[in-house]
Amino acid sequence: MAKTIERQIEPKTSLAIGLVWLFNITAIIGIGLGHQEWFIEKTYVNMMLYTVFLIALFPINTSRNIFLFSLAFLIGMSSEWIGVHTSWLFGSYFYGENLGVKLGGVPLLIGVNWAVLSLISADLVHKLNTSKYTKALFAASIMVGLDLFMEYSAASLDFWYFEGGLAPLKNYLSWFAIAFVIQLLINDSYSYGNRKFSLHLILSQYAFFAAYLLLQ
């Protein structure tokens, strides 16, 4: 079944991968040419498109995958709500206005981002011949690695702002712990998956935030 679905969505996967890289490369070129504000304001649009691609190509079309996506979303949103309102999970921070509609001070796109990153990271390590704990460790590391790049760009992108300017160590420790728990819950549970799209989506995100750091 998985092979059949993979063959059916292969042309769409290639198109989506091309668009993902096009969006990111165009944004980097535009920012490099001095049009930073225009491209930064469209960040949430890119995040929404990536989510649509994931839903269509992973695909999120079974009750199991829908449940796991929703579970990662709820854990991510709940963690961020606790973080924003208590400061003890990630440190003292608040969200800017560039990520769209908020619920309790947390943009809904942040919860979506937790779900997207969780699924694609799980997909990348899914076939490793090792224990679920090791796979969860690798997948959580992929997620925290991207967060590390994002943290140094977040304020200038109007994503979020930490008291004192930089995220404290406990931000990364909490991120890793929460990501690890999510991975334990979902890594061996989802049906299907799309490793080709997952790989290109995570690489494009790493590339964008690394290039953005160099341009600052």
Tell me what the mean pLDDT of segment 94-123 comes to.
Answer: 96
pLDDT band of 135, cuts 50, 70, 90: very high
pLDDT > 60? residue 4: no
Q: What's the pLDDT at 3?
A: 52
The C-alpha atoms of residue 130 and residue 126 are separated, in whole angstroms, by: 9
In this prediction the pTM is 0.92
Q: What's the pLDDT at 43?
A: 82
Q: Of all residues in the chain, what percent carry a pLDDT higher than 70? A: 96
pLDDT tens digits along 171-215? 999 999 999 999 999 988 887 889 999 999 999 999 999 999 888
Pairing of strands 102-103, 106-107: antiparallel
Question: Do residues 153 and 213 lie in contact, with contact meaning Cβ atoms separated by under 8 Å?
Answer: yes
Question: Do residues 112 and 73 lie in contact, with contact meaning Cβ atoms separated by under 8 Å?
Answer: yes
